[in-house]
Chain A
């Protein structure tokens, strides 16, 4: 019944899989620890993700003609560069109004009269301001109420904690019982100071590892690219060198030209295969995935070529490598133009079939009498049984 650990995760800035919310499917790619370096962040405005990227809300949403500043009533028609910012009391205003009202210092909000400063305005993250507010509240709470499941003796206790958190959050959002709620928060803070601190450090460490992984990957990629370039360079140089050498040798030596060329080619091949053998092919992410896979119970067993239960009479016949006298396949074997050969027709396949048919169940006793036919030793379910008259 508990909230899944991922749910709060996005608020704390963990990356989210591309394509929307967190899923609990059992594909590996959705484990919370997995790094998705190509996530498209859905946060904007002041909300950042673990790597510090942000994107502002209005960039993603097309400028709508309906936007209007509630204070001066100007809209995009008159002012194409209209940009609405949000106050700390969650009221929207256009930049010019903000300028007009607050440049000279703190002033009351035209909508609710709360005293505001100019700096208190931020760009909007979410279309729905109530969401904006809720997000901000949750962020604040999450900073302090950051216990994990492991910190509790049992599930019940954890759930109680979560309920308490939700309760507080609800109150803050809806501005219910504000003084008591603040008191509760203070009380919690006092009691759990140490644990809060510890958890903060844990998260920081995690964010750090994420960043390091990304850097490592980036370095890897660059390294490989440079290495590849280097190798290409080397190859090119070698080829040039070879060419020059050959020309020289042909001039000076009296050995067979073909042999010389063949020798130099062989050398080149040796060099390339040596280089190939030394290239490391294991990618870092592979290793990591392997580790998470190994954690599961089912081992990867060695390959077994054939896994079926069929008997193909292999012990009863053998295709003769030398071929057969066979007037059916005269045309094929005399295939003068090589058309059948070029196309790949294999008479051996036809022979194999015939030979097999010749020995297939040669000693199968026929059915006798009127006993009802038992279904054969077919082991697949869903056997198809013909209706018999």
Chain B
């Protein structure tokens, strides 16, 4: 018995597509201009703060420091992103882990600057986090044992920060899966041509190249996959587009061109020399507060400790007062409270 109405949702209300409902589409999608703006703003703000910190550390020294430009930051991040693939190969992590880790890193640096957090450990931690969120977990010890010069804390310390910067939005839609889907669907073309595996590999390589670019922050995974595919087998791609009734879509065709161009021009790992130069300068303009052992770092730690200590004594006093209250049957005036909850109270055991 088939019913007349399958779905009750009012037909007038626009349906929400699954991708558009995802956090990826809602929160991690930008225009090229916006990306530039974000990076510039982050960079500027960081420079200001760091300059001040350096000044307090050693007055007058900041004049000589050459801070990184936003583009240099991007370059450095790109270098470390390209290392993720190597690590994944070594650990034999699935493609999903690699893709997810790269996405996490990119997103992280839309919230933070390289001068605060060096990409090396961020990269290691993002990868570790990605193994967890994609259900391919590895024990921390196993992980760090196989990475030279890395202690578990190097990774642990950053994990929460990265998760926080991601807004705890861990689910990522990937282009490589979309590519697989195209490859399957191609078999539905009238003359059912299946792709040879060599062609598939080539397309996948293009997808991997796209990971070094900003493509995933601007376009949908399906678009990226189709662009990659189109680079390798343009005829099949065109026929597939027709099959999907999208051959008239100017949007799609324009997008595909843009992505292809991006892959071609930005899809290569950066030149090692230029990056080395950036890395060298980074050592000098890093935020001292974040550098373990520096004066500013220690000062900050002392400040934090002081605040924590204050809180502890205040709490102890309140508790004592409460105990006294109990003995006095009429109680005393309530200790003035800031509000129902002490927002900084999170670090307590309760």
Contact B251 A354 (CB under 8 A): no
Q: Does B140 contact A (CB under 8 A)?
A: no
Q: Does B5 contact A (CB under 8 A)?
A: yes
Within 8 A of A (CB), among B28-62: 28-31, 33-34, 37-38, 41-42
Q: Does B14 contact A (CB under 8 A)?
A: yes
Separation in Å of the A388 CB from the closest CB of chain B?
7
Separation in Å of the A282 CB from the closest CB of chain B?
22
Contact A306 B8 (CB under 8 A): yes
Chain A interface, number of residues (Cβ within 8 angstroms):
52
Contact A353 B177 (CB under 8 A): yes
Interface of A is mostly: loop
Name which of B68-76, B122-130, B180-188 contacts chain A.
Answer: B180-188
Separation in Å of the B74 CB from the closest CB of chain A?
15
Q: Does B233 contact A (CB under 8 A)?
A: no
- Given A326-B184, A360-B178; A367-B218 close (CB under 8 Å): yes
Q: Does A378 contact B (CB under 8 A)?
A: yes
Contact B25 A376 (CB under 8 A): yes
Contact A309 B110 (CB under 8 A): no
Cα of A358 to Cα of B255 in the assembled complex, Å:
15
Q: Does B20 contact A (CB under 8 A)?
A: yes
Question: Chain B contacts of A317 at CB under 8 A?
Answer: 181, 185
Question: Chain A contacts of B17 at CB under 8 A?
Answer: 310-313, 360-361
Contact A324 B184 (CB under 8 A): yes
Interface size class of B (residues with CB under 8 A): 35 or more
Question: Chain B contacts of A205 at CB under 8 A?
Answer: none
Q: Does B323 contact A (CB under 8 A)?
A: no
- Given A325-B187, A375-B26; A307-B222 close (CB under 8 Å): no
Contact A309 B16 (CB under 8 A): yes
Contact B252 A361 (CB under 8 A): no
Contact B16 A379 (CB under 8 A): yes
Q: Does B21 contact A (CB under 8 A)?
A: yes
- Given A305-B7, A363-B251; A354-B181 close (CB under 8 Å): yes
Contact A364 B220 (CB under 8 A): yes
Question: Chain B contacts of A303 at CB under 8 A?
Answer: 3
Question: Chain B contacts of A304 at CB under 8 A?
Answer: 3, 5-8
Smallest CB-CB separation from A322: which chain B residue? B187
Which residues of B are interface residues toward A (Cβ below 8 A)?
Answer: 3, 5-9, 13-21, 23, 25-31, 33-34, 37-38, 41-42, 110-111, 167, 169, 173-174, 177-185, 187-188, 194, 197, 218-223, 225-226, 244, 246, 249, 251-252, 255, 258
Residue pairs across A and B with Cβ atoms less than 8 A apart, 20 shown, are A304-B5, A307-B8, A313-B17, A313-B18, A325-B187, A325-B194, A354-B181, A358-B178, A358-B225, A360-B220, A362-B222, A362-B223, A364-B223, A366-B29, A366-B218, A367-B30, A368-B33, A370-B37, A375-B26, A386-B167
